Amino acid sequence: MKAFDYSLVKDPQYFCDNRMEAHSDHVYYRDGNEMQTAVQDGTETSFRYSLNGLWKFHYARNYKSAVQGFEKEDYCCYDWDDIHVPAHIQMEGYDAPQYANVQYPWEGHEEIYPGQIPERFNPVASYVKYFTVPEHMKGKRLFISFQGAESGLALWLNGAFVGYSEDSFTPSEFELTDYLKDGQNKLAAQVFKWTSSSWCEDQDFFRFSGIYRDVYLYTVPDTHAYDLQIRAIPEENLDVADLEIKVKTWGKGSIAFRLEQDGEYVLEEKKSLTEAGNEEANAEPFYIQKTNSSKTVQNSFVWKINNPKLWSAEDPQLYDLTIELYDEAGNIQEVIPQKVGFRRFEMKNGIMTLNGKRIVFKGVNRHEFSSVSGRHVSEEELRKDLRIMKQNNINAIRTCHYPDTSLIYQLCDEYGIYMIDETNLESHGSWDVAEFTKDYTHVVPHNKPEWLDMMLDRANSMYQRDKNHPAILIWSCGNESFGGKDIYEMSQLFRKNDSTRLVHYEGLFHDRSYNDTSDMESQMYPSVEAIKEFLAKDDSKPFICCEYTHAMGNSCGAMHKYTDLTDTEPKYQGGFIWDYIDQSIYKKDRYGKEFQAYGGDFGERPTDYNFSGNGIAYGGDREPSPKMQEVKFNYQNITAEVTADTVKVINKNLFVNTNTFDCKVTLAKNGKVIRTEALETAVEPLSTKGYKLPFGKAEAVGEYTVTVSFHLKEEKVWASAGHEIAFGQYVYQVKEDVPDGKSDSAETAITAEKNVCVSDAFVKKPQIIRSTHNIGVRGEHFEVMFSVLNGGLVSYKYAGKEMIEAIPKPNFWRAPTDNDCGNLMQMRYAQWKIASMYLSHKEYRKGAYGPSNLPQAEETDHSVKVTFTYLMPTTPASECQLTYEVFGDGKVKTTLTYDPVKELGDMPEFGVIFKFNADYDNVQWYGLGEAETYADRKKGAKLGIYQNKIVDNIARYMVPQECGAKEEVRWAKVTDRKGRGMYFEMDGESMMFSALPYTPHEMENAMHPYELPQIHYTVVRVAKGQMGIGGDDSWGAYTHPEYLLNADGKMEFSFSFKGI
């Protein structure tokens, strides 16, 4: 009897032993009734018996500490711990989750080389499951399927070694028949966290281990379809399609096919399994699997289908194929339901096309991740992800960087999402330094023959399982694994098995020795200019960004530059945002409150901390983050270029007319909707057409927004009828006639809220009270006090209530974002933080500190002006002035002035910061919304009136940082539950407005949300602007120059505030 040899685990040529041959992921049922019940109710086929649930478990730090002989039939494991299967052992309280990006998780602990494995710490998970073969399975061949075990799995049954398998992300299946006994059976498995193959599983993710996907027993009938290959490819003119089905079968009999759509039969035919060629499947293929393979017979069938309805992300037309197998006596043996999508994906003239049209990938990278259960993601979570993607115009997924669970491929077929299916391969840590040293000794797999079979096995396992899904357009050889012959051979495996798809690999950017590995030029995080420059020199292949607009924390600035490029550069065919969801795990702080934990929070080292927080969706509840607003707009397939009374509709859909959507036109005055009309449009795919709007340009004074939006006419599986899929907006002002010499600034067109800010000419002049240490100003319902000693506005009472909690001060700082940290913004702009925190009205004179300049107070015909000068401790020294002009109704016009010092350059923000009591916890604004906006991330926002709670403006980025800003604000107010509070409005130009419970410095000092202080204040920042947030990458890319604050000349900013 063969025994398991643990020493082979460090041999890259030992990656499977007695494992079953890989096959398609089809499901088969006993008959049509069982199939219908399963489809309707979600029940399991009776050919399967789930082993999910509690298993007996033992944890060991390494193989030497593992229980030896536990697999033996007479070794009792009933007193072992219980563990849930499927689950990572790290999510069940054994070992610790460890997040690492490029570095291997054992670095700094053991010095080992590729193929070798850690010995001091390499957790071994020993599992035992006692089971009795179900009555309806007795007497049949019995198999077991592990859908995912990470990273090496050894299996025994009743003490006999059954087999071994690596590749954490595709099924490992074994036949158990010869090892079974009557009554109770003892199934034993050992899962090793790190094997030789772990050198090729260095993805940017949490490092887990264990049996984390479903486990089940299964039997097969006497006549059985072991594998299906379905090709549904239209001919070039798309009027006729070939439906080719290859079936590998066990046993003799006949097979029947029925193809239907919407209840109508397209095909119905029955064939003998001895007809149609009777090809022996042992004819040598490109890749011979090192597996336990029973003899199968391959039968091929081909039909012509006239006028097929074509599958695409825009209109995912699917046909229902039913395959029935019968034995020689005519008894039904199994029924197989299969979705079929007809589509033609190919390269034409150097451009990727789908059904004859140039395709653009509006994609996202998606790690399979749950904050609850790691890489074991529930169906509910999968469906939520895909619903949100479709609702936000995402049309493609790259399965970074391994095959996902089978269900997501079925859902992408159904929902309509293109896929790059990526092989489980990343060896980033093996070549990260070698790229510069040119020493490739330890780079894997590269050109090393001992790694080739493992690589081919991984590619083949993914291909065989997933080959029948129309959503998959591209096979990917892996990620960030340099180049070389081994990866080239993987690409050839895909090509020789499948001529209907293309092959992708990005690593060619670093090693061009096998440039034909990839059918497309694929790069990570190039600038738009770099893409243009590359294509100008070499446009032999289409270009995609397999990763771009790095979405770490508050990011995705200037994303529109990439999506705009797809309209002007035919060879640039889109990209995939990095990435979809924050990889964070629920953990409790010392007080028992749950938070989203990241690298380092589990005591593990080495780690890359919060670098896993790159999602456009939050970890935890998987809800969209504010970045999604911009993604949705940039990815929309309909562009509406709106004027006051017309719209030009640009339909970027490849296959769908705009008449399949409802079009709505909305007119708002000063943010309030005054009219909504329907507009009938009928713009053909890839066409443009102009329309006159249902109403003309307004004449009454005010600011108007015209919004043209497109909505679903009927419910989809991913959204309700009425869901908005695209919009365009136009803003214009109708100004009142003004006499010569008077200002006609934009603010005269905006009618502020009634009785808040009244024209200065109709307000009685306030009273000024001068004294040695204070300057008071009193008017109707209000009092203001300025302190000479404390250097600023110390009191603003309205209706007898004190409004401010601290002296408003000039502010030039924001809490650094993850992108800021990556490009060392804190170092480059550190003087502006110092200026914001430590500016003062005092200076050292004659042995004491006193005001450098007394506040300047002057009276005008309608107001009182008080100006403070602040010295800033920068190098060189600088100063700024803050002027308050108080009117009789309590309005205070505030002006911040700064004469730039050239050596200091620009700044993160230019504005004023206020503190109010936390009771003022509501905010309403007329500006861009509804999510936060920034100078380089506001195209997806609409001008309107929005409101929320102050605390709602804290975005749930994994590390607290700048968030919640609102661009192009006309007016805003913060109020308590009774509606009392402070009102702010622009003065000539719109303003940036922020209302949060914390100052930028409090945000900056916290590494987790739970480290933020208790809420005591509402902190309002009113600013001329803030620098953009950037996002080309998060490790050095600066904010684009046009989104920086211009400090070349005198800077001045005015706004007004008033109690309400």
Say which CATH topology domain 766-1059 has: Beta-galactosidase; Chain A, domain 5 (2.70.98)
Q: What is the mean pLDDT of residues 438-464?
A: 97
Residue 760: what pLDDT?
Answer: 53
Report the range of poorest mean pLDDT among 596-605, 629-638, 658-667, 756-765. Answer: 756-765
Is residue 282 over pLDDT 80?
A: no
Q: How far is CA 822 from CA 190, 611, 833, 960, 1034, in A?
A: 41, 10, 17, 15, 5
Report the range of poorest mean pLDDT among 620-624, 932-936, 986-990. Answer: 986-990
Q: How far, in Å, CA of 302 to CA of 280, rounded?
A: 18
Q: Which residue type occupies 953?
A: N
Residue pLDDT, tens place only, 953-973: 999 999 999 999 999 999 999
Q: Which residue type occupies 146?
A: F
Residue 547 annotated to the active site: yes
Q: What is the mean pLDDT of residues 577-605?
A: 98
Q: How far, in Å, CA of 702 to CA of 539, rounded?
A: 51
- 932 pLDDT tier (thresholds 50, 70, 90): very high
Would you state the CATH architecture of domain 636-734? Sandwich (2.60)
Q: How far is CA 578 from CA 108, 335, 611, 617, in A?
A: 28, 41, 12, 11
Q: How far, in Å, CA of 200 to CA of 192, rounded?
A: 15
Q: Do residues 874 and 1015 make contact, with C-beta atoms less than 8 angstroms apart?
A: no
Residues in the chain, how many?
1060
Q: How far is CA 616 from CA 56, 388, 400, 625, in A?
A: 39, 11, 15, 6
845 burial (CB, 10 Å; 0-12 / 13-18 / 19+) is exposed
Is residue 746 over pLDDT 80?
A: no
Residue 438: what pLDDT?
Answer: 82
Is residue 755 over pLDDT 50?
A: no
- 460 pLDDT tier (thresholds 50, 70, 90): very high
Report the range of poorest mean pLDDT among 285-294, 444-453, 511-520, 892-901. Answer: 285-294
Percent above pLDDT 90 for the chain? 92
Is residue 341 over pLDDT 50?
A: yes
Tokens of 300: 């091929």
Show Cβ contacts of residue 104 under 8 Å, excluding neighbours closer than 6 positions: 198, 199, 202, 429
Query: Quick one: DSSP state of residue 836?
Result: H
Instruction: Spell out the domain ranges in the chain.
Output: 6-219, 358-631, 636-734, 766-1059
Report the range of poorest mean pLDDT among 192-201, 307-316, 835-844. Answer: 835-844
DSSP for 273-338? Answer: TTSTT-EETTS--SS---SB----EEEEEEEEEESPPBB-SSSB--EEEEEEEE-TTS-EEEEEEE
Q: What is the mean pLDDT of residues 563-572?
A: 99
Residue 40: what pLDDT?
Answer: 86
Beta strand spans in 660-735 (E) = 661-669, 672-678, 687-692, 702-712, 724-734
Residue pLDDT, tens place only, 388-419: 999 999 999 999 999 999 999 999 999 999 99
Percent above pLDDT 70 for the chain? 95
Out of 480, 506, 879, 962, the active site residue is 480
Q: How far, in Å, CA of 86 to CA of 83, rounded?
A: 9
Q: Which helix (H) or strand (E) holds 994?
A: strand 991-996
Would you state the CATH architecture of domain 358-631? Alpha-Beta Barrel (3.20)
Q: How far, in Å, CA of 991 to CA of 940, rounded?
A: 18
Out of 150, 547, 630, 985, the active site residue is 547
Q: How far, in Å, CA of 368 to CA of 102, rounded?
A: 18
The b/e string for 275-288 (b: 16+ C-beta within 10 A; e otherwise) is ebeeeebeeeeebe
Is residue 107 over pLDDT 70?
A: yes
Q: What is the mean pLDDT of residues 510-527?
A: 98
- 284 pLDDT tier (thresholds 50, 70, 90): very low
Nearest to 476 by CA among 367, 548, 402: 402
Residue pLDDT, tens place only, 686-699: 999 999 999 999 99
Show Cβ contacts of residue 632 under 8 Å, excluding neighbours closer than 6 positions: 391, 392, 393, 940
Tokens of 251: 């046993």
- 433 pLDDT tier (thresholds 50, 70, 90): confident
Residue 437: what pLDDT?
Answer: 80
Residue 845: what pLDDT?
Answer: 66
Q: What is the mean pLDDT of residues 478-501?
A: 98
- 436 pLDDT tier (thresholds 50, 70, 90): confident
Q: What is the mean pLDDT of residues 421-450?
A: 92
State the average pLDDT for the chain. 95
Identical fold, 6-219 and 636-734: no
Query: Quick one: DSSP state of residue 835?
Result: H
Q: What is the mean pLDDT of residues 91-95?
A: 98
Is residue 946 over pLDDT 80?
A: yes
Residue pLDDT, tens place only, 1000-1039: 999 999 999 999 999 999 999 999 999 999 999 999 999 9
Residue 623 annotated to the active site: no
Work out the end-to-end distance of the chain between its first and last CA atoms, rounded to an integer number of angstroms.
87
Q: Do residues 127 and 156 make contact, with C-beta atoms less than 8 angstroms apart?
A: no
pTM: 0.96
Residue 518: what pLDDT?
Answer: 99
Q: How far, in Å, CA of 860 to CA of 951, rounded?
A: 40
Name the phi and psi angles at 479, rounded to 5.
Answer: -140, 135
- 757 pLDDT tier (thresholds 50, 70, 90): low
- 276 pLDDT tier (thresholds 50, 70, 90): very low
Is residue 579 over pLDDT 80?
A: yes
3-class secondary structure for 495-556?
HHHCCCCEEECCHHHCCHHHHHHCCCEEEECCCHHHHHHHHHHCCCCCEEEEEECCCCCCCC
Q: How far, in Å, CA of 82 to CA of 85, rounded?
A: 10
Q: How far, in Å, CA of 570 to CA of 999, rounded?
A: 46
CATH number of 6-219: 2.60.120.260
Residue pLDDT, tens place only, 145-179: 999 999 999 999 999 999 999 999 999 999 999 99
Residue 388: what pLDDT?
Answer: 99
